[in-house]
Structure 1
Amino acid sequence: MSFFDNLVNNGKALGNQISSAMGNAANQTGVDAKNSAERTSLEMEIATLNNELDKSYLLIGHKYVEYLIVMEKDPEIDIADVLKLMAPKLKKKKELEDKLAALEKEDKEQHIIAQKLEFEREYQEQKTKLDKALTMDIITEEEYKNKLMVYKNKVDHFDEMRKIKAQYEMGIIDASEMHMKLRAIGVE
């Protein structure tokens, strides 16, 4: 009867882990959708301001040409009125660009946090499996420590691992260097 009790308990634990993972994924999807909608809105607003600013730049160009046609001397044109119209738009554009940059940074940070949580969840799952295997004398203490250490290192050296992979993606290092560095920190 003990075997069946363990089977039921392990099934419940796995169900809870799957449910938790699905909840985290749904939450992250919601955050991603909200950020994506906000990012799209900011990008559209910036594009609108750019169009309005382009019209102002065109107006400055027209004034300049008119001046050159009427006057036959070094150009001195008055564009203060156009600059007055442009100043608030330029300020608003800068604010929106800053907001967009902050949103993109937050989005990137959220993805990094989600990745780290995934490695922590994976570590806990593997630890549970390895604990059970050790208890049942399926693996030795040394095998237990070695296998668990790989997952633990992924959590402990998460930032280093992320930087190494970024170096590879940017073409700073090749695949063999990446694998060598990952092995050096014990995550491969």
Structure 2
Amino acid sequence: MDTSAASYLTYARVAGFTFLFYIAAGLTSMALGSESPAADLLLLLQSFSALGLGVTLYALTREQEPVLALLALTCRVAEAIQSGESAIYFAVGSLCFTWLFLRGRLIPTVLAQLGVLASALLVVILPAQLAGLFGGAMSWAASTTWLVWLPMLIFEVALALWLMIRGVNTRQTQPQAL
């Protein structure tokens, strides 16, 4: 895989755009409702976006820790299947990728820390919701669900914009001790 600075910038920009498309497709499909054929199409596009994100984020983070980056990619693939537990795979994949962004200082530290925090929150809360805690199963009609996902939404929009405008720090190719 080509790892020139221009390639990293391309991967970053594609990832940034894909984050925004993924979010827009997901929110629009929820607004349309599950009975809408357009919502089904948007969910399909969201699944392909998850795959694209997995590949581009893997390309950006694999030099930090290849096995962890591969786990994160695998979680994005599992998320794309759109099963009832896909949000948990999303959260674990996001936690891995954000940790690698933080470890490699690929994006601003504060932004990476927000991503780690938002992802870790989801990793803990989503299984608890499946177990009936925190208001029961995840429902987008519940205010608890929106509160739990809000930090992730803020992080992903900020990250998307950062990646599209600035890319990643290509001077830091080796993992850094935290």
TM class, shorter-length: 0.3 to 0.5
TM-score, normalised to structure 1's length? 0.32
Task: Give the TM-score of the pair, scaled to structure 2.
Answer: 0.34
More helix by share: 1
**Greater RCO, 1 or 2 (C-alpha within 8 Å, sep 6+):** 2
